[in-house]
Amino acid sequence: MTRLILLAALVLSSCGDDRPPAPTAEENARLDATDRMLNEVEPSPMTEGNAG
């Protein structure tokens, strides 16, 4: 019974929040600029559904 409790405690303790840290202000600005740049690019014919 003690082993089961220890195993349950170990499993529950490993269920943490494993997300990466939020981007810094500089990283966020670079990501926004890249997003704007990619939105301005015309889509290639391969992305419009006629890839075959």
Locate the domains of the chain by residue range.
Answer: 1-41
pLDDT in tens, 7-49: 888 887 777 777 889 999 999 999 999 999 999 987 777 766 6
Of the candidates 24, 5, 21, the one whose C-alpha atom is nearest the C-alpha of residue 13 is 5
For position 22, what pLDDT does the model report?
92
Instruction: Tell me how many degrees the CA angle 22-23-27 measures, rounded to the nearest 5.
Output: 180
